[in-house]
Amino acid sequence: MMNKLNSRYYPFDKIIIGYCMLMIILILIFGRPLVNYVDELFTYSIAGAIAILLPLTLDESKGRLSAFFRLMYAAMLFGIFYRATGGLIFLIFNRFFDYQLVAFETILYGMEPTLYIDYFLLSPLLNEIFSFCYFCYYLMIPVFLIALFVRKDYEVIKRYLTAAAITYAVSFLIFSLYPVEGPRWHFEGQYLNKIDGYLFRHLVELILANGAVHGGCMPSSHIAIALVIMMFCFKHYRIWGWVLLLINIGLAIGTVWGRFHYVTDVYVGIAIGLAAYYLVEKKYAVWAAQEYKTPTEKELKADFVS
């Protein structure tokens, strides 16, 4: 019976359940006063319950609608988890650590890169190009997943969601372990110029004004996830991998250009994204074999008896 129950859960389901449990435990340990974290406790409790119960009620082989919600619920939860991090930035520490990154990058580059860009490089055309690349991130995930779903590439979706679950879990955990608010907040009032654009700069500002959290800068989860998607495209849909390579280069520059991240955030995001992708590529077949192994005669008898 346990083998049948275990087979209903994919690796990304288990990661989501584990992440929710971990965050609940951290909140119960560090959240003081606990009443300030009721919303977050509720969010992770409900999300964990969904990840436990939904695989038991939906079967992707029973139709396209069932398959859609069975697979895509995870991507929906990732957005909810991001919003929940806004209330957990100071769960462990009561301050931001931007000053450490600024000191490190000043020593490394001679001047903090976002300040250098502000003083010497801004132009409406370049602003718009890098804002376009940054804006593409918000389309990248839904377009990628919907395209795979239409093609019925369910196995690729499962692998991507597993890599994305690892990436987001690690990134969001670091948000609380090392709070960083980012250049646009840390250097507020020190920039000499406004970043002007024609269309995409305004769209990015609109999205951030309504969806971004204050903090959660280290690492750049945008870069990490965009890199994961690009790597899967290179493996399965190579031409789109090359397209995303160009966009992701612009995205990496755009995160710093737009004052959303420090260069160090980008490097750490790249490391997390690559590590998650290669871990899934190396281990997913093993995980899948464990979950969907053919039962032995002894196990079949035990299931029959139970």
What are the sequence ranges of the domains in the chain? 2-301
Measured from the Cβ of residue 18, the count of other Cβ atoms closer than 10 Å reads 14
The two structure tokens encoding residue 117: 């860009």
Question: What gap in Å lies between CA 153 and CA 176, rounded to an integer?
Answer: 35
Place of tokens 């994919």: 10
Least Cα distance to 158 among 81, 228, 74 occurs for: 74
End-to-end CA distance of the chain: 7
- H runs (alpha helix) in 92-187: 98-109, 113-120, 124-151, 154-177, 183-186
Residue 267: per-residue pLDDT = 97
Please give the pLDDT value at position 288: 67
Supply the pLDDT for residue 283: 86
Query: What pLDDT is stored for residue 171 in this prediction?
Result: 97
pLDDT of the residue at 209: 84
Q: Which residues of the chain have pLDDT under 70?
A: 1-7, 288-306
Q: CA 165, CA 22: separation in Å to the nearest integer? A: 14
Secondary structure E strands in the chain = none
pLDDT at 198: 92
Q: Is 90 helix (H, G, I), strand (E, B) or coil?
A: coil
Q: What does the pLDDT read at residue 91? A: 95
What is the pLDDT at residue 303?
Answer: 41
Tokens of 272: 């997390």
| pLDDT for residue 289 | 64
Question: What is the predicted pLDDT for the residue at 291?
Answer: 55
